[in-house]
Amino acid sequence: MTEVAETKQNRVARRQVDKFEARRTELAVATLHTLADLGYARTSLREIAQKSEFSHGVLHYYFADKQDLITRAVRQYEAVCVTRYDGVIAEAAGVAELRDGFIAEFFASMRTDAPLHRLWYDLRNQSLFEESFRADVEEIDRRREEMIWQVVGRCAELAGTRPATSSGIAYAMIDGIFQRGLRLALAGADEEIERLQDELRQVVGLLLEEPVPAS
Partner DNA sequence: CGGATTTTTGGACAGTCGTCAAGAATTTTT
Partner DNA sequence: AAAAATTCTTGACGACTGTCCAAAAATCCG
| Helical spans, DSSP H, in 83-166 | 86-91, 95-112, 114-126, 134-159
**Nearer Cβ to a copy of itself (71/92):** 71
Closest separation between CB of residue 54 and DNA, Å? Answer: 3
CB nearer DNA, residue 7 or residue 166: 7
Per CB under 7 A, 16 contacts DNA: yes
Kindly state the smallest distance separating residue 211's Cβ from a copy of itself, in Å.
16
Binding status of residue 71 toward DNA by CB under 7 A? no
The phi-psi region of residue 165 (left if phi > 0; otherwise alpha if psi is between -120 and 50; otherwise beta) is: beta
195 scored as a contact of a copy of itself (CB under 8 A): yes
Q: Cβ distance 31 to 68 under 8 Å?
A: no
Question: Which of 37, 74, 41, 81 is CA-nearest to residue 175?
Answer: 81
**Binding to a copy of itself in span 119-138, by CB under 8 A:** 121-122, 125-126, 128-130
Instruction: Name residues whose C-beta falls within 8 Å of residue 170's C-beta, 6 or more positions apart in sequence.
Output: 148, 149, 152, 163, 207
Minimum separation from the CB atom of position 2 to DNA (A): 14
- Asked if residues 111 and 68 have their Cβ atoms less than 8 Å apart, the reply is no
Interactions with a copy of itself, residue window 59-88 (CB under 8 A): none
Task: Identify whether the C-beta of residue 111 lies closer than 8 Å to the C-beta of residue 185.
Answer: yes
Comparing CB distances to DNA, the nearer of 44 and 112 is 44
Contact between 14 and DNA per CB under 7 A: no
Residues in touch with a copy of itself (CB under 8 A): 38-42, 118, 121-122, 125-126, 128-130, 164-166, 168-169, 171-177, 179-180, 182-183, 186, 192, 195-196, 199-200, 202-203, 206
